[in-house]
Amino acid sequence: MPHCSACGSLLRPESSFCQSCGRPVAAPPLAQNVALPPLPQKKKHSPVAIVMTVFLIIAMVFLTVVMVIRNTQEDETEKAEKAEHTNPCNLVSFSFLLALKEGNPVAVGYWKPGVNAKKLLAVHDYTLINHGNFLQAGGKPYKIPRVYYKYEVESSTEGGFPIRKRWNVIMEPSSQAHGVGCAIVDLQAAE
């Protein structure tokens, strides 16, 4: 604590006069050589570091865009595949061949009423090749639109000889079979 230079009494730090003798208190001397901390200097970045930083930022943006596009395409593909698996004509053609493979007499029920049902002998296995709209020989559409599902079918002849052949299961999406909105109207050997 500071003392009065005249009477030696103890002074309060905030006092401007001594309480004992009334003399003004001298201001404390200013520090002369106080070292101030140095100002921070700007770092100089090399041109190579700047180019590398810009390149990394551009690469990250590019990869992000590629990932977003890829995920969008995968989502659209999944939706299309899911829609195809729930397509009534796809289900009818698959179920018809499955019934033939299992020897189940329900196979004739997938045909349009009034159409003579055809069947393949001893179906062992089948694979969907493709599908699409089925047109008449001249390329004209049928009055009632038709679609085909082309399968490669492993079966046997009446004599028991194994054969592998492609077949078109031809259907009318507007007709009903087994309460499903698609019925088979023909079964033709495919090219």
CA-closest candidate to residue 187, choices 132, 117, 129: 117
Categorize the per-residue pLDDT at 33 as very low, low, confident or very high, splitting at 50, 70 and 90. Answer: low
pLDDT at res. 99 = 93
Give the pLDDT band of residue 80 (cuts 50, 70, 90). Answer: low
Rounded average pLDDT over 75-81: 60
Q: Same domain for 171 and 110?
A: yes
* CB neighbour list of residue 185: distance below 8 Å, 6 or more residues apart: 111, 112, 115, 146, 170, 171, 172, 175
Name the CA radius of gyration of the chain, rounded. 46
Segment of 2-16, 82-96, 123-137 carrying the highest mean pLDDT: 123-137
CA distance 1 to 25: 13
Same-domain check for residues 76 and 119:
no
Question: Given 67, 86, 105, which residue is the final one in a domain?
Answer: 86
76 and 113 fall within a common domain: no
State the residue range of the domain holding 55.
51-86
Q: Considering the entire predicted model, what is its pTM?
A: 0.55
Number of domains in the chain: 2
Provide the β-strand partners of residue 173: none
How many CB atoms sit inside 10 A of residue 137's CB?
5
Domain end: 86, 106, 138, which one? 86
Report phi then psi at 15, rounded to 5: -75, 145
Residue 29 resides in a domain: no
Specify the pLDDT at position 145.
92
Give the pLDDT score at 143.
92
Does residue 43 fall inside a structural domain?
A: no
| Most confident listed range (9-23, 75-89, 176-190) | 176-190
79 three-class SS:
helix
Q: Is the pLDDT of residue 82 over 80?
A: no
Mark whether 108 and 57 lie in a shared domain: no
* Average pLDDT of span 84-103: 87
Residue 7 falls within a domain, yes or no? no
